[in-house]
Amino acid sequence: MAVHAPIRFISKDKSQFYQTLSARVDAYFQKSGLSKHASMGVVIKTIILLTTYLLPFFLISFLQPPFGWALLMWIVMGVAMAGVGMSIMHDANHGAFSSSPRVNNIMGEWSLMLLGGSAFNWKLQHNNLHHTFTNIVHYDEDIDDKAILRLSPHTEVKNMHRFQWAYALMVYSIVSLYWVTAKDFMQFARYTRNGVNKNNARQNRVEFAKIVGIKILYFSLFIGLPVGFGIPVWEVLTGFLVMHLVGGIILTVVFQLAHTVEETIFPRPNDQGTIENEWAIHQMQTTVNFSRHNRLLSWYVGGLNFQVEHHLFPKICHTHYPHIADIVQSTAREFNVPYLEHKSFFHALRSHFATLRRFGRLPDLDEVMG
C-alpha cells in the first residue's frame, strides 16, 4: 500500500445527517442513563472468551490428551481466538471498552499480544486508515489485493482472479498465520516509510523492540511451552496451524462481509485528492450490516454485524449497537441516506462471493471510470 496524498471529504451539498444522528444517539444515552462503554455483561464475556481460548491450551500442555482430543481443543482455541479479537481487542483498541484510556490500552495491547499481534500497527491500519478511508483503494489496506485475491474494482485484473471466488477461503485461512509471523514487520516498515507512522526514530526503536518481544513471547508460549512439556513438535505445530486456519477464516470472513459485497461502493478521489461526499455518508455507502437480529451471532462477533453503527460511532461499545441501530436507520431514511444490510449471514456471504466473482472479471466501464 502506498498512501500518495491526504484525502479530504468535501460535499457540495451540506447535510445535517451526522450532526442530527449524533445528537439523537447522545440523547438516547442521556435518557437511558447508560454508559457508552462496556457493561458487566462485556466483562463476563471477556472472561468467558479468554478462558475458552487459554484453558484448552493449558489442558493440552499439562494433561497431554491423545492427539485427536488435543486437535479438537486447538479448534476450540481457533474459534475463541477470533472471538477475543472481535469482542475484546477490537473494542479496547477503539477506546470503546472502558471510559479509562489506561484500561483500554491494557486490554487492547494485552489481548492482542495473546493473539500474537501488535496494537501499534493495528491502530494505524484499522483506526487511522480503514475507518477514515473505507473502501478507497491504496488507502484502505483491507481492500488491497492480497496474494492472489482482487478485492477492489480499481486494481489490475489477472487471469487467476477469475477463480478467486473458489479459492478465497483458502487465502482467508492463512491471514492470521501471516499476521503473527510476517505482517507486523512488513507493516511497520511500510508505515514508517510512507509516513503513516509519524513517530520519531527513538519511538520507532521502542515500538520495533516491542513487536520483536511480542513475537518471542507468543511463540515461546504457544509452541515452546507444550514442546517443553514433551509433546512432539509435529503435534504442536499441527494444532497451532489448525487454530490459525480456523481463526483466520472466521476473522477474515466477518470483516469482508461488511465492505466487499454487492451493495457497497468503491469511490476514488479526484485529481485534487477530494472525495466529493461527506465522511459519514461515505461510511453509509461503503458499509453493510448483516444478521442484526441474531443475538448469538452478535454476542460472538462483538457487534461486527452492526458495522454501520460501528463505523459511525467506533468509540461506543458494541453491546449498544442493537439499541441505536433503529435510530441510525430512521435518521438515514429521513435524510435519504442509504442504510445497507443483509438479513442473514448467508445472504451476506453469498453477496461477498458474488462480488469476488465480479471483481475477478475484466472491469466494466463504470468500474474503470469510478
Q: Note the Cα 342 to chain centre separation in Å.
A: 18
Identity of residue 91: D
Q: Which three cell numbers stand for residue 144?
A: 488491497
Give how many domains the chain has, as a whole number: 1
Parent domain of 228 = 40-268+279-369
Residue 348, pLDDT score? 98
18 in a structural domain: no
Per-residue pLDDT of the chain (370 residues; tens, 9 = 90+): 445 567 899 988 889 999 999 999 999 999 999 999 999 999 999 999 999 999 999 999 999 999 999 999 999 999 999 999 999 999 999 999 999 999 999 999 999 999 999 999 999 999 999 999 999 999 999 999 988 999 999 999 999 999 999 999 999 999 999 999 999 999 999 999 999 999 999 999 999 999 999 999 999 999 999 999 999 999 999 999 999 999 999 999 999 999 999 999 999 999 889 999 999 999 999 999 999 999 999 999 999 999 999 999 999 999 999 999 999 999 999 999 999 999 999 999 999 999 999 999 866 544 444 4
Beta bridge partners of residue 149, listed in sequence order? 146
- Which pLDDT score is estimated for 6? 79
Q: Which amino acid is at 124?
A: L
Q: Could you give the 3-state DSSP secondary structure of residue 188?
A: helix
In a domain, 204, yes or no: yes
N- to C-terminal Cα separation, the chain = 20
Is 25 a member of any domain? Answer: no
pLDDT at 369: 41
Tell me how far the alpha carbon of residue 63 is from its chain's centroid: 34
Strand partners, 289: 341
3-state secondary structure of 274: strand
Q: Would residue 26 count as lying in a domain?
A: no
Q: How far is CA 355 from CA 153, 242, 248, 282, in A?
A: 10, 28, 20, 19
Question: Is 314 among the domain residues?
Answer: yes
Position 147 scores a pLDDT of 81
* pLDDT at residue number 362: 66
Q: Is the pTM of this model over 0.75?
A: yes
Q: How far apart are CA 227 and CA 214, in angstroms?
A: 19
> Does 175 reside within a domain?
yes
Residue 24 lies inside a defined structural domain of this protein: no
* Within a domain: 118: yes
